[in-house]
């Protein structure tokens, strides 16, 4: 399995990090998880391209996770691709319908299939996936791809979520702000470190970084390390991780 971080940023641009998007590839299968602003550009830069993405799996519906959805629809239509499947939590169909009501010239241009999923197990793009409800300001799902990869989506840090990720080779976890920012719906390093304490995870990549984290990576890693002694790193746009 190959996991490529297309976008590791947040709703506040940094100039270096685009909004959320993660590409999961394995044995000829390709899945895009989230599709925030800039993800289409990163797809081209990754060498994969939007032509290869026929399924998008959404964690939730905040703008920085869905804003390139319609640009993806349009790009695939103009490239002669015939279909796109969008899978996500409850409300995904209403979201896409509302977007198309604004850009109605895209209606019917490609075969657009919408599917809603809930906490539990399902299959998408040939992958067997488990979903877990996170703690965010809107309904949001974390996703686990067997024992290889787990993505937290947006969430506060809590034991239920890190227990869901237990045993994963790679965990990509929201870590939006340093400790001195008073925030809800996202973790700080200290709360994430406490939630990770005692967990068996091969490597943790921190993502969804706000500009507040710039220049403060070392102190954030130290804060996590005070509670969790595992391998923790910051994800960067276009970083690819191979998982056996």
Share of the chain above pLDDT 90, in %: 98
Which CATH number is 168's domain given? 3.60.15.10
Q: Is 26 a catalytic residue?
A: no
DSSP 190: H
Enclosing H/E stretch for 57: strand 55-57
Rounded to the nearest angstrom, the gap between the alpha carbon of residue 105 and the centroid of all alpha carbons in its chain is 29
| Burial environment of residue 190 by CB neighbours within 10 A (0 to 12, 13 to 18, 19 or more) | middle
Q: What is the pLDDT of residues 173-213, one digit of tens each?
A: 999 999 999 999 999 999 999 999 999 999 999 999 999 99
**Which of 50, 48, 99, 98 has its CA nearest to residue 70?**
99
Name the pLDDT band for 224 (thresholds 50, 70, 90). very high
What pLDDT digit, counting tens, does each position of 92-101 carry? Answer: 999 999 999 9
In the predicted model, is pLDDT for residue 244 greater than 90?
Answer: no
Give the pLDDT confidence of 50-105 residue by residue, as tens digits. Answer: 999 999 999 999 999 999 999 999 999 999 999 999 999 999 999 999 999 999 99
Q: Which of 209, 90, 201 is nearest to 140 (CA)?
A: 90
Count of the separate structural domains present in the chain = 1
Per residue in 2-36, pLDDT tens?
999 999 999 998 889 999 999 999 999 999 999 99
The one catalytic residue among 26, 27, 34, 64: 64
- Is residue 5 within 8 A of residue 238, CB to CB? The reply is yes
* pLDDT > 70 in the chain, percent: 100
167 CB burial (10 A radius; 0-12, 13-18, 19+): middle
Q: Which residues pair with 57 in a beta bridge?
A: 33, 87
The domain containing residue 85 runs over which residues? 2-242
Whether the predicted pLDDT of 230 surpasses 90 = yes
Query: Residue 14's pLDDT is what?
Result: 87
């Amino acid at each position: 399995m190959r996991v490529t971080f297309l976008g590791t940023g947040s709703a506040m641009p940094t100039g270096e990090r685009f909004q959320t998007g993660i590409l999961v590839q394995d044995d000829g299968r390709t899945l895009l998880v989230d599709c925030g602003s800039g993800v289409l550009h990163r797809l081209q830069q990754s060498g994969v391209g939007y032509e290869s993405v026929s399924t998008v799996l959404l964690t939730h519906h905040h703008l920085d996770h869905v804003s390139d959805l319609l640009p993806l629809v349009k790009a695939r239509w103009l490239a002669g691709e015939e279909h796109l499947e969008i899978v996500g939590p409850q409300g995904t169909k209403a979201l896409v319908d509302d977007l198309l009501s604004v850009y109605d010239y895209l209606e019917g241009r490609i075969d657009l299939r919408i599917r809603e999923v809930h906490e539990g197990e399902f299959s998408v793009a040939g992958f067997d996936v488990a979903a877990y409800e996170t703690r965010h300001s809107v309904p949001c799902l974390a996703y686990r791809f067997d024992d290889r990869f787990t993505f937290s989506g947006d969430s506060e840090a809590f034991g239920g979520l890190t227990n869901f990720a237990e045993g994963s080779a790679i965990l990509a976890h929201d870590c939006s702000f340093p400790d001195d920012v008073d925030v809800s719906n996202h973790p700080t390093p200290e709360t994430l470190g406490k939630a990770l304490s005692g967990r068996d995870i091969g490597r943790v990549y921190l993502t969804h970084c706000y500009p507040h984290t710039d220049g403060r990576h070392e102190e954030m890693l130290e804060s996590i390390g005070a509670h969790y002694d595992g391998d923790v790193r910051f994800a960067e746009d276009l970083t690819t991780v191979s998982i056996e």
